Every structure is written in structure tokens, then in C-alpha cells.
């Protein structure tokens, strides 16, 4: 078995994932979130879409068996296995602006958004192209009556994993989340491997 | 008072809306949906974002007093008045693909997506740039326990309106929705005016 690669705390990375390959994401210490975005390897204008995924999966909570779709209605990733069962696809990667607006930070961290922008720059993908992320392990329960939601500690325990199979050739961006609210203040690393 | 402009059934349009102007959208016959998208007039890479809006408004049901944000965390539109109180910001404009996948249509209509792409082409905005729309009057209740949702008939009655104030110079794309499920099969026109 391939060894895990570590995404250090409050950082991000980007890499290629070819059709048929599996991406296994592990929360090594528990209660951490990883923001995942995906782009077509051969055409970067094709990008993961929360709305198209909701259109075709009829639920805002995605887990084992669900497919994540692109803006062009193609399946990008298939969730094959999921220890946790709760992830978020509503919210965007934390950024200088979210830290400024939501946390009143004077000198904000660049956040998952800045980390993704830096990593994706190697693939000529600009910051404005970063979509709503599939926020692995992020726990955002929604009140169906009022529509209001809150960001709660992830349900992931140390060693929990989720496995995606790529349905097309992709560029993946991933982070170890930088926003304290998302991970109960832990801001620990995230591990992954490609099989 | 300026006269209303009609968006005929299953069509779309695009126009400029300057900062401080108001956009009043009316459902003339009731139970119809209008997909609204917004781009920066001076920089088309700035685009309305459901995720950024959810980040800052803490609810998936937007109504009077809420602000709709861009991918750059700027306020694009402020909802000043709303007769209906239920709109959707989860789903994407219906398209050839959604008709094919969700309705099994062999020869599908180009849908709101195709109508928006045609109208926005006049502003050099490509189809891949069309984001999740703010779906005016669309009624998509979510079950907070399971995450599952369903598309229900709009709560709008004939003559109901919603008013947006532009907080920056914008290009707006809007439709009279083409998907029967969204509007209880009526597929009627939508009216709007700029004040």
C-alpha cells in the first residue's frame, strides 16, 4: 500500500488524479476538515459544481454511493467509501475575506482559499475559478424549517477515511483547513494517498 | 413608474444594472421561477456565489434584508422587499443535460442554462462561467435530518414581486424558467423593471 502524503496544518496542495485512480483522504487526528476542489485535467474550464451535484443527487449531504458532478454535468468523482457520513458542499473555502468578515481578523491568514489559489497556480488555474469546495468531514447541519445552519465540529475520529474514484482525468486541490470554527479549533494536518 | 418588461415563456435575457438601481421582478401569473445570475460589469470574472452568500448570511433561504455576495466576497445585490419569502440558491439552471438526465428527454429544450448562455454571449460571458443561479420564487424545501430536498410549486401568487438593489455595477442574466417541475408545469412569463 502506498504511503500517505501529509498536508501540513493550514496548508494546501494540488495534484493530478487520473480516471480510475482512487483518492483516499484520512483525518489522522480527528475533527479536521479538508476542502477539495476538482478541475478537468484537459480543460480547466470544467470544474466541480455543488449545484449540479445537488441537481442529480437530490440531497445536500453526500456520502457513499454519491457522485460529484462538474458544471458540464459530467461525473468527476464517485464516493466509494466513507467512514464519517457527513461532509459539507454548501460553503466556500475560508479566505482573507472570511477571516476579516466572520472573525474580525485584522491581519488574516490566507486560508484554504489562498492555499488552493497558490497550489492551483501551478496548473494555470486562477483564484476566481475556485468554486464552492466539497468540504470533506465538515459538519454543517441545516435546519430545514428556517434554512439556518451552523458549523459544528466534524464527526471524524482519528484515522477515519473517505475514498473517491476519479471518473475522468482531474486536477485536485486539497487543504488541511485553516478556519478554527470548522475543526473545533484543532487545525491539524490531513493525509491522503492515491491508489 | 417604468413599465414592466416581459421575459416570454422559456426564454431569457441579460442587461446592465448600475449601482443604486433597483430591479423589481414580478411573477405575473403565479407559480413561476426566474433564474437570476450576476457578473461584475467592469470585470466579468466577479460572479454571484451561492457559497459565499451562505458563508455570510448563515441561511440557505434568502429573503428581505439578505445580501447576495460575489466569489470575491463583495455584496452584489441587497434584497429590499420580498412578497414571497421562499427562493432557491442550491440548484443550477435547467439545461439540455438536466432535461436529459432528470426528465429522460430525447430532444431536450436548451433550458434556462441555454437561454442564459445565449443572452450572456452579448457580454462575452461564456457558458462555463454560469454559476448556480439565485432561483427567484423557486421552492426547494430541505429535510435537515436527511439532507434530501424536493422541488415544489412556488409559493408566489399572481402579481407577487421581489426587489433587489444593486450594490455594484452588474450584468444581470434572468429567465422565465423552462423546467416544468419548478413551476408546477405552468412555464409562464416573468416580468421585470429597473427603477
Interface check B145 vs A, CB under 8 A: yes
Q: How far is CA B53 from CA A31, A91, B29, B60, B75, in A?
A: 25, 9, 29, 9, 9
Q: Calculate the average pLDDT of chain B.
A: 96
Residue of A nearest to B47 (CA): A128
* Cα distance between residue B142 and residue B67, in whole Å: 21
B58 neighbors A140 (Cβ within 8 angstroms): no
Domain count, chain B: 1
Min Cα separation A96/chain B (Å)? 10
Residue B1 has pLDDT above 70, yes or no: no
ipTM score = 0.96
Residues of B in contact with A150 (CB under 8 A): 58
* Cα distance between residue A40 and residue A24, in whole Å: 19
Interface check A106 vs B, CB under 8 A: no
B173 neighbors B41 (Cβ within 8 angstroms): no
Q: Can you give the residue range of the structural domain that contains A106?
A: 5-194
Residues of B in contact with A179 (CB under 8 A): none
φ/ψ of B51, rounded to 5, equals -65, -45
**How many Å separate Cα B65 from the centre of its chain?**
17
**Taking CB atoms and an 8 Å limit, are A51 and B92 in contact across chains?**
yes
Interface check B52 vs A, CB under 8 A: yes
Tens-place pLDDT, residues A117-143: 999 999 999 999 999 999 999 999 999
Q: Long-range pairs for A114-117 at CB < 8 Å and ≥24 separation?
A: A115/A10, A115/A11, A115/A12, A115/A175, A115/A178, A116/A12, A116/A14, A116/A35, A116/A37, A116/A173, A116/A175
Interface check B123 vs A, CB under 8 A: no
B193 neighbors B4 (Cβ within 8 angstroms): yes
Min Cα separation B75/chain A (Å)? 12
**Taking CB atoms and an 8 Å limit, are B60 and A132 in contact across chains?**
no
Averaged pLDDT, A167-180: 96
Interface check B72 vs A, CB under 8 A: yes
Tens-place pLDDT, residues A137-166: 999 999 999 999 999 999 999 999 999 999
Amino acid at each position: 500500500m502506498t504511503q500517505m502524503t501529509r498536508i501540513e496544518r493550514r496548508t494546501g496542495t494540488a495534484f493530478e488524479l487520473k480516471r480510475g485512480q482512487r483518492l483516499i483522504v484520512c483525518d489522522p487526528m480527528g475533527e479536521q476538515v479538508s476542502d477539495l476542489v476538482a478541475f478537468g485535467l484537459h480543460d480547466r474550464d470544467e470544474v466541480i459544481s455543488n449545484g449540479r451535484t445537488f441537481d442529480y443527487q437530490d440531497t445536500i449531504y453526500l456520502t457513499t454511493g454519491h457522485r460529484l458532478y462538474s458544471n458540464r454535468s459530467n461525473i468527476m468523482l464517485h464516493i466509494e467509501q466513507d467512514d464519517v457520513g457527513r461532509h459539507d458542499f454548501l460553503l466556500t473555502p475560508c479566505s482573507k475575506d472570511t477571516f476579516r468578515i466572520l472573525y474580525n481578523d485584522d491581519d488574516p491568514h490566507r486560508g484554504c482559499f489562498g492555499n488552493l489559489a497558490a497550489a492551483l497556480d501551478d496548473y494555470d488555474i486562477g483564484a476566481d475559478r475556485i468554486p464552492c469546495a466539497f468540504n470533506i468531514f465538515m459538519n454543517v447541519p441545516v435546519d430545514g424549517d428556517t434554512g439556518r445552519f451552523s458549523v459544528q465540529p466534524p464527526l471524524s475520529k482519528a484515522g477515519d477515511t473517505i475514498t473517491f474514484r476519479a471518473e475522468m482525468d482531474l486536477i485536485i486541490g486539497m487543504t488541511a483547513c485553516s478556519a478554527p470554527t470548522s475543526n473545533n479549533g484543532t487545525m491539524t494536518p490531513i493525509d491522503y494517498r492515491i491508489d
